[in-house]
Amino acid sequence: MRRPNFFIVGAPRCGTTSMYSYLRQHPEIHVSVHKEPHFFGSDLTPLPGAIREEALYLELFAGAGDRPRAGESSVWYLLSEKAAGEIHAYAPEARIIILLRNPQEMVHSLHSLYTRTGNEDLPGFAEALAAEPERRAGRRIPPGAYFPEGLLYTGVGRYAAQVERYFTAFGRENVLCILFDDMVRDTAAVYRQALEHLGVDPRFEAELDPGRAGERARMQAIRQLTRTSPEVRRRLQFKDMRQHEGGPRSPLPAADAARLRDLFAEDVARLGALLGRDLGAWTRGERLSGRREARAVDDEALVGPGADHAGGSRDLDLEAEQAALRHLHQPDADRDLLARPGGADMADVDMGADGGLPRREKGLDGGEAGVLDQADHARGREDALQVGGSHVGSDPVDRLMGQAAAEHVGGHDG
Amino acid sequence: MPDEVLEGLKRIVAEDLDMNLSYEEIDETVPLFEGGFAFDSVILVELISFIEQRFKIELREEDLNMETFRNLQSVARIVQAQLAARQS
């Protein structure tokens, strides 16, 4: 049976889902229909929906044919202390891709997600950070938590040691680290870099608009699923998905942001040294590219509205623009969420640059659907999806691919 | 043949898919997704599998798009085209 030979290993909330949907389009690349099987990482709590049986895991790559690359994208492999070694033992020639984002933004996004999925029961981010010492000792874990490791936010955001493990296991030349800021600034260049890293034709032009890329990916996934055994479909809990509702993400108070910057400063400097990049901008609360004048795509769209999987149901992280995907949705659970008050579906949400309020919706017909009243939310494309009854991407396939707005168990973010 | 294909598709929806729809309730012009039968991707995966089994065809990648699955009429056109191509 064919083994995978590339892995996107994290980090959560850093654009892994978008990169996965871009790679999926390449004719020389096969990706698992289940974005995040979490087969490796034996030191972590098994996620709902994880595939730990080798026969089932390998079935995810059975359709690779003669394509030179086959891979998957389980975002908690990066945090795991064992996954790097386990992957290397299983696929020593594998290429690794790591996506990283300013840890301050990432952990805040992760907390927001978890409050919607049930992994987190402390609605305030500062409160959740304060609870970390107790949680590390096994206390104050929410009864509904499905992945307690994810609640240790500051540990998740300290990337340096995590990245180092992959450098050590695979060699620096086999590990590509992509910075989210670079991906936002020039998605096409970063995509080419990823293709070169995987040794496939870098001239291939993929659809890089997150929405259209997602639509393509969805039909490919549906095709893959028709060729997947009923047992695998059952294990993917394909039919058993639950919709989570969530409110808008609160902005991070300035004092908390400053505290986080301080908290991560040393690790950011260490990471910068590892990568040979000056990441000082992150410590100053800025993007690496400075003020974004023109972005290839919306940054939050790259991460997705509710990416991480959550307890009890499976969800995937659908980028906001993955509009057309709403044609397929769960009949009962999602209809009310998907329907826009005006009766049309939301095709896009224009968040503008950071703090660029108000945001506007566009209908599928291209017409403006109105301003989203979310004045307290400085940067939440992901959250805008929840406003006014609008909701995107709650179809099971989206969830399976890591692209649904709703949270689900077993997937974790994008 | 066109009627046979359409009838076969209706039989799949009524008898094979877990949709709680009777044969008589199925109108080939009703949208399969929003505003119609409210299929989701789980149902679509099953529909494709049953179509391929029943008609012994393999839907082409380029036919797997939302236009094909707008309603049973549009699905029938694709199936008929594939059956015709096989016979020629």
CB contact under 8 A, A328 and B33: yes
Q: Model-level pTM?
A: 0.72
| pLDDT tens figures, A287-319 | 886 444 334 444 556 665 444 443 332 333 322
Tell me the pLDDT band of A49, cut-offs 50, 70 and 90: confident
CB contact under 8 A, B38 and A331: yes
Name the DSSP letter for residue A313.
B
Question: Could you list the residue range(s) of the whole structural domain that residue B42 is in?
Answer: 2-87
Minimal Cβ distance to A225: which of B38, B45, B52? B45
Q: Are A198 and A69 in contact (CB under 8 A)?
A: yes
Q: Is B24 helix (H, G, I), strand (E, B) or coil?
A: helix
CATH number assigned to the domain comprising residue B64: 1.10.1200.10
CB contact under 8 A, A222 and B65: no
CA dist A122 and A118 (Å) reads 10
Minimal Cβ distance to A396: which of B40, B52, B65? B40
Report the pLDDT averaged over residues A161-165. 98
**Chain A positions in Cβ-Cβ contact with residue B34 (cut-off 8 Å):** 326-327, 329, 338, 345
A36 burial level (CB within 10 Å; 0-12, 13-18, 19+) = buried
Minimal Cβ distance to A396: which of B42, B49, B61? B42
pLDDT at A288: 86
> In order of start, what are the domains of chain A with their CATH numbers?
1-329+397-414 (3.40.50.300)
CA dist A122 and A143 (Å) reads 12
Q: What ipTM was reported for this prediction?
A: 0.79
CA dist B26 and B31 (Å) reads 11
Q: Take residue B61 and report the two structure tokens written for it.
A: 């990648």
pLDDT at A304: 56
For residue A136, pLDDT beyond 70: yes
Select the more confidently predicted residue: A410 or A138: A138
CB contact under 8 A, B39 and A218: no
Q: Is A256 helix (H, G, I), strand (E, B) or coil?
A: helix
CB contact under 8 A, B34 and A226: no
Please confirm whether the linkage preceding A145 is cis (ω < 30° from 0): no
Tell me the pLDDT band of A238, cut-offs 50, 70 and 90: low
Minimal Cβ distance to A397: which of B41, B64, B66? B41
Percentage of chain A exceeding pLDDT 90: 51
Q: What is the mean pLDDT of chain A?
A: 74
- Residue B41: alpha-carbon gap to chain centroid: 13
| pLDDT tens figures, A356-398 | 222 333 333 333 333 222 222 223 333 322 222 223 346 777 7
CB contact under 8 A, B41 and A331: no
Give the gap in angstroms from C-alpha B76 to the nearest C-alpha of chain A: 18
For residue A275, pLDDT beyond 90: yes
DSSP characters for A95-137? EEEEEE--HHHHHHHHHHHHHHHTS----SHHHHHHTHHHHHT
Closest CA to B61 of A32, A65, A262, A224: A224
Give the gap in angstroms from C-alpha A327 to the nearest C-alpha of chain B: 6
**Chain A positions in Cβ-Cβ contact with residue B55 (cut-off 8 Å):** none
Dihedral sign, Cα of residue B33, residue B39, residue B40, residue B46: negative
Select the more confidently predicted residue: A293 or A354: A293
Give the gap in angstroms from C-alpha B64 to the nearest C-alpha of chain A: 6
Total of domains in chain B: 1
Q: Are A402 and A17 in contact (CB under 8 A)?
A: yes
**Chain B positions in Cβ-Cβ contact with residue A238 (cut-off 8 Å):** 42, 45
| pLDDT tens figures, A189-236 | 999 999 999 999 999 999 998 777 877 777 788 888 888 877 777 766
For A224, name the nearest residue in chain B, comparing CA atoms only: B45
CB contact under 8 A, A326 and B52: no
Residue A38 phi, psi dihedral angles, 5° rounding: 50, 50
| pLDDT tens figures, A95-127 | 999 999 999 999 999 999 898 888 999 999 999
Q: Residue B50 carries which side chain, given as an amino acid letter?
A: F
pLDDT at A309: 40
Select the more confidently predicted residue: A326 or A141: A141
For A326, name the nearest residue in chain B, comparing CA atoms only: B34
**Chain B positions in Cβ-Cβ contact with residue A223 (cut-off 8 Å):** 48, 61, 64
**Chain A positions in Cβ-Cβ contact with residue B39 (cut-off 8 Å):** 328, 331
Give the gap in angstroms from C-alpha B32 to the nearest C-alpha of chain A: 9
CA dist A132 and A147 (Å) reads 14
**Residues of B engaging A, defined by a Cβ cutoff of 8 Å:** 33-34, 38-42, 44-45, 48-49, 52, 61, 64-66
Give the gap in angstroms from C-alpha A189 to the nearest C-alpha of chain B: 28
Minimal Cβ distance to B61: which of A223, A324, A328? A223
A364 burial level (CB within 10 Å; 0-12, 13-18, 19+) = middle
pLDDT at A214: 75
**pLDDT < 70: residue spans in chain B:** 1-2
CB contact under 8 A, B34 and A324: no
Burial pattern B34-65, b for ≥16 Cβ within 10 A else e, equals beebbbbbbbbbbbbbbbbeebebebeeebbe
Minimal Cβ distance to B42: which of A220, A238, A335? A238
Q: Residue A105 carries which side chain, given as an amino acid letter?
A: E
pLDDT at A403: 56
Minimal Cβ distance to B40: which of A226, A233, A329? A329
CA dist A61 and A59 (Å) reads 5
The residue among B45, B47, B65 with the most chain A CBs within 10 A of its CB, best to mutate, is B45
For residue A3, pLDDT beyond 90: yes
For A397, name the nearest residue in chain B, comparing CA atoms only: B41
CB contact under 8 A, A398 and B41: yes
Q: Take residue A18 and report the two structure tokens written for it.
A: 């978008």
